[in-house]
Amino acid sequence: MSDKPFLQLDGLRYGRGRASDIIKSLSLTIGQQERIGLVGESGCGKSTLLKLILGVISAQSGQICCAGEPIRIKPWRPMNHYRKLVQYIPQDPHTALPPQQTVAKLLAEPVKRLKLGTVDNALLQRAVEQVDLPHSILDKKATELSGGQAQRVALARALIIKPKFLLADEPTSGLDLPLREQIKALLAQVCEDNQMGLLVVTHDISMVSGLCERMLVMQQGHIIEDQATADVLRAPNNIYTQRLLEAVPRIDATAWHFPRSII
């Protein structure tokens, strides 16, 4: 791939009209293999931005280029080539995965759709191994998966394409703490193994600090902070970011007491 930025977003605008736009003249450059965390309060436009980058919705104005080429040659459909480079894991894989299909079928589908070669058992087994799932999961239906398993299957389905970049929308929402840590470690591992970039939307600042070298903060459709994660956490530029970081719950063991009645 060229030395051009992997993704270049220029002047993106999405919404019904200037005042109520969800995304407001947003520009962003994303390098190859960059790992970026995108945070911001509920409703500020994070998922909408991911959908624009994925190409499932189109901006009213502005353009997205991948390695210097516009991602759309026709207004309604991104290039097939782009689909092979950029994959997505949804916020709630349980509702996104067709419920009656087996995991084997779910994993085979994008390989067939994008004409990436034959699907055999060895390929499917490698795909589930990569996300630490047993081979036996291949025969299960999506409805039979736990939340953590569904999240891993969604990840395996994205990785089977061997993408260069992964868009992940709150990949740990609804999971308990140990599972969140496991998914975070797994994402770090697959980014490393596959030399893949990542843009992850999350409300979990520890996911950004543990996984992403760059952090973006969004407010009302604008990117208001864009720095190295360590710099944002140490000295945010924006008062809104400061408030967002202050709102992260911390456990202070010294300030916590058992009520006398249960000691």
Ligand X SMILES: Nc1ncnc2c1ncn2[C@@H]1O[C@H](COP(=O)(O)OP(=O)(O)OP(=O)(O)O)[C@@H](O)[C@H]1O
| Residue matched to tokens 């084997």 | 104
Judging by beta carbons within 10 Å of its beta carbon (0-12, 13-18, 19+), is residue 85 exposed, middle or buried?
buried
- Range 110-119, long-range pairs (CB < 8 A, 24+ positions): 110/157, 110/160, 110/161, 111/160, 111/161, 114/80, 114/83, 114/84, 114/161, 116/84, 116/161
Closest to ligand X by CB, 42 vs 136, is 42
CB of 45 to ligand X, least distance (A): 4
Least spacing, CB of residue 49 vs ligand X, in Å:
7
Residues 115-154 vs ligand X: string with x where CB under 6 A?
Answer: ----------------------------------------
Residue nearer to ligand X on the CB measure, 91 or 102: 91
Query: How do beta strands 61-66 and 7-14 pair?
Result: antiparallel
59: left (phi over 0), alpha (psi -120 to 50) or beta: beta
Residue 241 interacting with ligand X (CB under 6 A): no
Tell me the C-alpha distance between 29 and 24, whole Å: 16
Least Cβ distance, residue 38 to ligand X (angstroms):
9
Q: How many binding residues for ligand X (CB under 6 A)? A: 9
Cα–Cα distance measured from residue 29 to residue 43, given in angstroms and rounded to the nearest whole number: 23
Binding mask 6-25 for ligand X (x = CB under 6 A): ----------------x---
Residue 15 vs 210, nearer CB to ligand X: 15
Q: Does 236 bind ligand X (CB under 6 A)?
A: no
In angstroms, give the least distance from the CB of 170 to ligand X: 7
Between 14 and 82, CB nearer to ligand X: 14
Which CB, 45 or 78, lies closer to ligand X?
Answer: 45
Shorter beta-carbon distance to ligand X: residue 12 or 22: 22
The token duo for 16 is 């019904």
Q: What is the DSSP string of 93-109?
A: HHHHS-TTSBHHHHHHH
Query: Helices 147-159 & 177-194, crossing angle to 10 degrees?
Result: 10
Task: State CA 187 to chain mean position distance.
Answer: 10
Amino acid identity, position 200:
V
Choice between 46 and 214, CB closer to ligand X: 46
In the complex, least distance from residue 91 CB atom to ligand X, rounded to whole angstroms: 7
Mask for 23-62, x = binds ligand X (CB under 6 A): -----------------x-xxxxxxx--------------
- Give contact residues for ligand X (rule: CB under 6 A): 22, 40, 42-48
